[in-house]
Structure 1
């Protein structure tokens, strides 16, 4: 695939990848290397270190890549606040999201930017993602809807757009900031608040690998609580009390199932039930990507005379 050319000032990147990290020294190097393998080279990475107590910032700075900017913050303010901060620093025409423990497939940025350029009506584009664990084993695929109307058909029950796969127009992100007061479910809150005046889409292609070792009630339940508060606030503001109550009931029911099944030790079963099976072709792409990441690591370590 040919590399895309920036549509704006040649000094500015075409796309800004924004990332917030906290104590991510064990995973962030692989995330950064996956960006360096992108078929689209006109990118910058804006990393906000959210009060890490480990060597996260030093790991990223060790790449010595002029496309990477790291901002060290002494205190933790949470993902939503740090993403707003990164958006304010972004110079690209487009903005893409990823987490510090995830991995992009090489064609991710090129495929999403091409799709956004081909359809100017889309503000925010997601993709499907494959789920993997710390051992590198694939667990399943996060399914997505590809059309706006399908995505927002039941907005109070959730809009299926995996947060780390988002790529959209910088102007949209600036016009629709995250709620920095939220520490959980900031993505669903933003989608709910913006879905009436925005247009969403998704590529039914696996462009990102999402790290998830297990379903964690300590993360799931606070997330559902935050979603319920967001739903009620939005529903009340728009007089949509009945749809909001329906969405709240759905979250409460799902939360109950989470407690019973995960509490009963059925974590792996529940995790796989929420995902699609991984085709052999995807498993092969994953193995090739892991091989390329290892080679990139060896090459950069040899060039620097140390281990990144």
Structure 2
């Protein structure tokens, strides 16, 4: 009987034919080889399934759906197939550094109190050219405090303990967009996080990632607001982070109000905008849209 793999890699795939091969190649190049890939082919309308099936490696396990069931449901289905005691994430158009698994497994093995580890990341374009980087704090306490007002963790760079995630129910199904941050907030209440100050992940930014339907943008704005409110309630934050959390909630309310108005929910949108301004009037001068309306120039205020 074959032994269970140490790492289960979750990958959801939808219309990723252009970059899927490169993403899987980065897994095959890992120096730590004891892994399985749980590849969820989520009803793609391109040749993603053919790219996937072209790989001849017993560690790659393919689960196909005839239609797209949504990112969260796909992740939850993948979670149910896990055999490893560690879970790693890699999106179908992102790239893992060859030593990513080796380095992240070592952190978790050497530090039983750490439930999740991730890394710095490089942003790449459609031609795999680096154009920016993501370098969040690496101190566990600073990471925890950051969760109150931002998400410092790149989903495609994470590795976390399966049992810890299972104990909290895995990815929360009520979130269509922010299921990763929702999971992080729940895990943060159970143990520490670590972020390696190395670029172990390349995150691809596609034009389609920046152009979304009005309905999708509304969902994103609503969930960002909900999650910032959740963070303020469930995390034991310092006074500074509580202040930043309140500012984030106000900012997210403002953005949600704008999205409501764009989607013709005029009264609801104006109500949310006014509530956001009452919560923290300084967001008026920090928000680019508001600044343009009033013709304000120069640097926004710092907090």
Which residue of the partner structure matches residue 30 of structure 1? 22
Unmatched tracts of structure 2, length 5 or more: 259-285, 293-303
Tell me if structure 2 keeps the 8 A contact 1:14–1:42: yes
Which residue of the partner structure matches residue 251 of structure 1? 252
Question: In the alignment, which of 150, 156, 159 is matched to residue 151 of structure 2?
Answer: 159
Question: In the alignment, which of 104, 112, 120 is matched to residue 120 of structure 1?
Answer: 112
Number of equivalent positions: 253
CA 224–68 in structure 1, closer or farther in 2 if over 3 Å, else same = same
Tell me if structure 1 keeps the 8 A contact 2:31–2:98: yes
Tell me if structure 2 keeps the 8 A contact 1:156–1:246: no
Runs of 4+ residues over 4 Å off in structure 1: 219-222, 233-240, 242-245, 252-261
User: 1:229-308 maps to which residues of 2 (within 5 A)?
Assistant: 229-232=226-229, 235=232, 245-252=246-253, 260=289
Tell me if structure 1 keeps the 8 A contact 2:147–2:231: no
Tell me if structure 2 keeps the 8 A contact 1:81–1:179: no
Which residue of the partner structure matches residue 68 of structure 1? 60
How far 1:64 moved relative to its partner? 1.5
CA 183–30 in structure 1, closer or farther in 2 if over 3 Å, else same = same
Does structure 1 residue 212 correspond to structure 2 residue 205?
Answer: yes
CA offset digits 1:234-278 (Å, max 9, x no partner): 6568999x86643311435688878749x9xxxxxxxxxxxxxxx
Tell me if structure 1 keeps the 8 A contact 2:146–2:152: no
Structure of larger gyration radius: 2
CA 239–50 in structure 1, closer or farther in 2 if over 3 Å, else same = same
Quick one: higher RCO (CA 8 Å, sep 6+), 1 or 2?
Answer: 1
CA offset digits 1:131-155 (Å, max 9, x no partner): 1101121101111221221012143
Which residue of the partner structure matches residue 197 of structure 1? 190
CA 248–26 in structure 1, closer or farther in 2 if over 3 Å, else same = same
Q: TM-score, normalised by structure 2?
A: 0.74
- In 2, Cα distance between the equivalents of 1:259 and 1:76? 35
How far 1:41 moved relative to its partner? 1.1
Give the SS at the match of 2:4.
coil
Question: In the alignment, which of 79, 82, 86 is matched to residue 87 of structure 1?
Answer: 79
Tell me if structure 2 keeps the 8 A contact 1:157–1:250: no
CA 182–121 in structure 1, closer or farther in 2 if over 3 Å, else same = same
Q: TM-score, normalised by structure 1?
A: 0.73
- In 2, Cα distance between the equivalents of 1:239 and 1:102? 33
CA offset digits 1:21-59 (Å, max 9, x no partner): 111111111100111111111111001111211221221
CA 26–188 in structure 1, closer or farther in 2 if over 3 Å, else same = same
Q: Which moved more, 1:56-65 or 1:224-233?
A: 224-233
Unmatched tracts of structure 1, length 5 or more: 1-8, 264-308
Question: In the alignment, which of 97, 119, 141 is matched to residue 89 of structure 2?
Answer: 97
Which residue of the partner structure matches residue 132 of structure 2? 140
Which residue of the partner structure matches residue 282 of structure 2? none
